Amino acid sequence: MLREHRPQTLFDRIWQNHVIASQSDGQQLLFIDRHLVHEGSFHGFNKLKDKNARVSRPDLTFGIVDHYAPTRIRDISKIDAAIAGMITQLEENCLANDVRIFGLNDPRQGIVHVVGPEQAITLPGATIVCGDSHTSTHGAFGAIAFGIGASEVAHVLMTQTLWQKKPKSMRVRFDGKLGPGITAKDMALAMIAAIGADGAQGHAIEYTGSAVEGLSMEGRLTLCNLSIESGARCGLIAPDMTTVNFLRNRPLAPKGDLFERAAEAWLSLRRDDDAALERELVIEGSEIAPVVTWGISPEDALPITSAVPMPDAMTDESRAAHTREAIDYMGLRPGMPLTEIPVDRVFIGSCTNSRIEDLRAAAAVLSGRKSAVPGLVSPGSSLVKHQAEQEGLDRIFVDAGLEWVDSGCSMCVGMNGDLVPPGERCASTTNRNFKGRQGPKSRTHLMSPAMVAAAAVTGHLTDVRDLMGGRS
Amino acid sequence: MRPFKTLDAKAAPLPFASVDTDQLIPARFMKRSRSEGYGQYLLYDMRFDGEGNPIEDFPLNDPARAGVEILVGRRNFGAGSSREAAVYALVDYGFRCVIAPSFGDIFASNSVNNGLLPARVTEEDAETILSLLENGQDRAFVDLDTCEIRLANHVFRFEIEPVWRTKLLNGWDDLDLTASYADDIARYMVSDKERHPWLQEIPASI
């Protein structure tokens, strides 16, 4: 077939494949391949009911219980009635519309951004939306995946399409090789610290470079998950054999010859070498140290080897004001070394860091050691929980003194009642250190699972590399 | 949706950066039905102390600011979660316009879908507006046609995506527009089944 060569980025290529119509003002109508709904999607379903409409493509829509999932008692008759109501409401909305649902007691239940890849609902080259900002996670497979609001949820439910203006493109290249103990979480936090929590607003990020190619699917999911914390619309990584091998034989992946045909198409989803680049950021992988957040925005992130910033030394007044507000809320002293910050509890879980590789990394540090503080470990899905138990990881956490519970969004957002008490400080593998995110007046420090495990062992923020001697 | 052309209303300063959607409406209120009105939960943990008493020096608790319809913040307003409830809280409280140097993308899009104008100004202008509002001024005039904000003797330019401007000016709902493309959507589904059968057909076993 003869066609004009117009160099495309990976993002351009997938976007162009989904355009149904274009308006003169730049808006384009996109087909949506996968729509994930959860308990919070009830506003969208209510809009559907108001219009007496039904779900247009129930076969491409999936319901998953995660935001309100109780993690200690799975008998819905024995939990808070308002929380139980949120779960049954989703189940009823899905049932009424013939939408497949992974309910609370389904053995495959879990966090929507963990279950999607695990079941191969998520596929390369797809457009994926969900009423949750961390939908950017699925970009790890080379998909365009982004969070939407309730009005847009209703629009997708009714039409399986969405009007969008194409975001600008940006490439973030991680060169070289990561040092020991450095993970995708550190890569993402280092990037956000460099460009700011609004640094990528209006952009789709393509992650490239040897340090990205070297990541497992779990690591890639963590990296793309945190794209939204830099303000980006979405983040994505070109599919390669790591992607194809992950998907082979997954429950909802294509089967047999169709898989081979699909895999060939997926591997051709690459950016042209001469594709235009609107912005580029290059980070040297070997220079990344373990990163922790000290403040109230994910951009308030620094290598563990540094100290709390000093607002009086800042020339930018609005920057200084934010720093003072953050230091005050977090109960810190300007200039104090980050390793002197004590923690009251730890949390390992969330769509950012709750996959099997994350649990293994935390368990490697905790093995044979005790946690100095209480804490919760909530696996990303019931299948991850099962696998971790097969590997004996649950014993390591329990022996260390941490609580091993069921899967859900849990203490990342606290909707199910798993909260950090007021004034307490939590070392957390989650994605947002916003004021009150883990509960009213809670204080959150974000870091990798291994770093959370290190903080648990010592009772204060700690460079995990100091605890690794001989472990990996 | 109610069209937005001009707005002559009271304005309040919210001199913080990154007022995220978790602060606009804390997660614990999101089980409630919208029919209760979400305005009462707006910025709840900033407006009220642990016992539920109003915090005196918080701008929105000033009786003189009652009936306010314009909110002015610092950069990265509405960052974070995609919860449209954050916009419901602002709209139900009575806001029709938020002015800030930058907005979370999903928040801005949710705002437009609810008739709330996210007006982007420079950081310098945001600081000037905040300072005017903290020193005696309490009203602003917002003109979406000309993309101008008038306050005291100043005129500030603001920016908004042209697509969103048109939508707000006309009070359009995306669904009306999409309905006119029903045939194109149907054709897309047929042709994509040929091109990417794995995207259009999912194995039934689940």
Residue-range domain boundaries for chain A: 10-267, 291-465
Q: Is the predicted pLDDT of residue A472 greater than 70, yes or no?
A: no
Domain count, chain B: 1
In this complex, which of B30, B106, B206 lies closest to A149 when CB atoms are compared?
B106
Q: What is the domain extent for residue B142?
A: 6-172
Mark yes or no for CB contact A297/B196 under 8 Å: no
Mark yes or no for CB contact A322/B192 under 8 Å: no
Mean pLDDT of chain A: 96
Q: Is the predicted pLDDT of residue A382 greater than 90, yes or no?
A: yes
Mark yes or no for CB contact A21/B181 under 8 Å: yes
State which fold the A10-267 domain adopts.
Aconitase; domain 3 (3.30.499)
Interval A95-117 mean pLDDT: 97
pLDDT of A292 reads: 98
Q: Is the predicted pLDDT of residue A24 greater than 90, yes or no?
A: no
Q: What is the pLDDT of residues A122-149, one digit of tens each?
A: 999 999 999 999 999 999 999 999 999 9
Whether B44 is in a domain gets the answer: yes
- A5 pLDDT band, cuts 50/70/90, is low
Distances (CA, A) of B130 to A228, B1, B55, B138, B147: 28, 29, 20, 10, 19
pLDDT of A324 reads: 97
Interval B61-81 mean pLDDT: 96
**Residues forming a β-bridge with A303:** A291
Whether B181 is in a domain gets the answer: no
Distances (CA, A) of B38 to A7, B60, B85: 47, 15, 7
Smallest CA-to-CA distance from A103 within A146, A69, A60, A126 is with: A69
Whether B139 is in a domain gets the answer: yes
Q: Is A281 exposed, middle or buried (0-12, 13-18, 19+ CB in 10 A)?
A: middle
- A346 pLDDT band, cuts 50/70/90, is very high
- B1 pLDDT band, cuts 50/70/90, is confident
**Residues forming a β-bridge with A347:** A376, A428
Please provide the DSSP assignment of A419-458 as one string: -PPTT-EEEESSS---TTTTSTT-EEEE--HHHHHHHHHH
In this complex, which of B45, B81, B203 lies closest to A440 when CB atoms are compared?
B45
Q: Is B171 left (phi over 0), alpha (psi -120 to 50) or beta?
A: left
pLDDT of A273 reads: 84
Strand order in the sheet with A19-22: A19-22, A27-31, A161-165
pLDDT of A25 reads: 85
pLDDT of A4 reads: 59
Residues of B in contact with A46 (CB under 8 A): 34
pLDDT of A277 reads: 80
Q: What is the pLDDT of residues A177-234, one digit of tens each?
A: 999 999 999 999 999 999 999 999 999 999 999 999 999 999 999 999 999 999 999 9
Residues of B in contact with A20 (CB under 8 A): 181, 184-185, 188
Q: Is the predicted pLDDT of residue A168 greater than 60, yes or no?
A: yes
Whether B34 is in a domain gets the answer: yes
Angle between helices A449-458 and A356-366 (to 10 degrees): 30
Q: Is B138 exposed, middle or buried (0-12, 13-18, 19+ CB in 10 A)?
A: middle
Percent of chain B with pLDDT over 70: 99
Residues of A in contact with B79 (CB under 8 A): 197-198, 231, 297
- What is the architecture of the domain spanning A291-465? 2-Layer Sandwich (3.30)
Mark yes or no for CB contact B106/A147 under 8 Å: yes
Question: How far apart are the CA of B148 and the nearest CA of chain A, in angstroms?
Answer: 21
The reply to whether A291-465 shares the fold of A10-267 is yes
CB atoms near residue A398 (< 10 Å): 12
- A318 pLDDT band, cuts 50/70/90, is confident
Torsion angle of alpha carbons A189, A192, A194, A198, nearest 10°?
-170
User: pTM above 0.95?
Assistant: yes
pLDDT of A1 reads: 44
Smallest CA-to-CA distance from A454 within A181, A102, A261, A234 is with: A181
Percent of chain A with pLDDT over 70: 99
Residues of A in contact with B188 (CB under 8 A): 20, 31
In this complex, which of B17, B18, B174 lies closest to A155 when CB atoms are compared?
B174
Q: What is the pLDDT of residues A386-439, one digit of tens each?
A: 999 999 999 999 999 999 999 999 999 999 999 999 999 999 999 999 999 999
Q: What is the DSSP letter of B94?
A: T
Q: What is the pLDDT of residues B140-172, one digit of tens each?
A: 999 999 999 999 999 999 999 999 999 999 998
Q: Is the predicted pLDDT of residue A278 greater than 90, yes or no?
A: no
Whether B59 is in a domain gets the answer: yes
Interval A371-386 mean pLDDT: 98
- A6 pLDDT band, cuts 50/70/90, is confident
Whether B198 is in a domain gets the answer: no
Whether B189 is in a domain gets the answer: no
The CATH number that applies at residue B127 is: 3.20.19.10
In this complex, which of B178, B201, B206 lies closest to A29 when CB atoms are compared?
B178
pLDDT of A287 reads: 97
Q: What is the pLDDT of residues B96-141, one digit of tens each?
A: 999 999 999 999 999 999 999 999 999 999 999 999 999 999 999 9
